Amino acid sequence: MTYITAAQAGFMACHACGHVDERATPPAGAHERVPPQRCSRCGAPLHQRNLDSIPRTWALLIAAALLYIPANLLPVLHTSSLVGSQDDTIMSGVVYFWTSGDWPLAIIIFIASILVPMLKLVVLTLLTITAQRRSPWRPLERAKLYRLVERIGRWSMLDVFVITLTVSLVRFNSLAVITAGWGALAFASVVVLTMIAAMQFDPRLIWDNVDHSGQHDE
Ligand SMILES: [Zn+2]
């Protein structure tokens, strides 16, 4: 079965209200940066694809990858008590909970703050590279990966939540003074930047070259 997409037929969907409009032909001689066509129903600007999706996703991904380093090297918690003070990175926290027998907590922290952010960076990098090269490689799997990354985005703040909880709990019941370190700020930035990167990535780019190559025909 062959089909053509709405884009090939000259239509664009509105991001805001879902209304489908016919794409106006740009005036002759005008170059790319003409003001965008607006939705005939709600007035929102219409785009065939998110504007500059790939460079914007790259910028956010690179920033997130750079901040991933201090997020893991700098202390996320600073504890000072009568017996001395201690700085804990994410990994030393995992090791501490693991060796003190709290292994479920150790596993949760390891997955939520080391594994998941790294996997998100890797998956988004893979999606951006393949979209940039207009690769027709496994579009369905890539679309599923994208949905997965979007879905786990909301759980990424779990770790920031754990840090906040630890700080407030320890403040309540001991003489120790515990504060969040710079690593926590870097970690929160990694989480926010990857979330925005996932939003900037336009998943329709995955299918752009697939429709033309006829791979989807069945
Ligand atoms: Zn609209």
Residue 15: predicted pLDDT: 83
pLDDT in tens, 173-213: 667 788 888 998 999 899 899 989 998 999 888 888 875 54
CA 49 – ligand 1 centroid, Å: 15
Domain contains 218: no
Residues 81 and 182 in one domain: yes
Residues 34 and 44 in one domain: yes
CA 156 – ligand 1 centroid, Å: 32
Q: What is the pTM of this model?
A: 0.81
Residues 67 and 35 in one domain: no
Least confident of 73-87, 122-136, 204-218: 204-218
CA 201 – ligand 1 centroid, Å: 21
Confidence check: pLDDT of 215 > 60: no
Residue 49: predicted pLDDT: 84
Domain contains 3: yes
pLDDT in tens, 87-100: 989 899 889 889 99
CA 38 – ligand 1 centroid, Å: 8
pLDDT in tens, 6-43: 888 889 888 889 899 988 876 666 555 677 889 999 99
CA 20 – ligand 1 centroid, Å: 8
Total domains in the chain come to 2
pLDDT in tens, 134-145: 888 899 999 999
Using alpha carbons, select from 165, 164, 181 the residue that is nearest to residue 72: 181
Residues 120 and 187 in one domain: yes
Residues 35 and 68 in one domain: no
Q: What mean pLDDT, rounded, does the chain reach? A: 84
Residues 35 and 99 in one domain: no
Residue 217: predicted pLDDT: 44
3-class DSSP assignment, residue 97? helix
Contacts of residue 6, defined as CB under 8 A and 6 or more positions apart, other chains included, come to 12, 13, 20
Neighbours of 127 (CB within 10 A): 24
For residue 164, give its domain range. Answer: 50-213
Residues 81 and 91 in one domain: yes
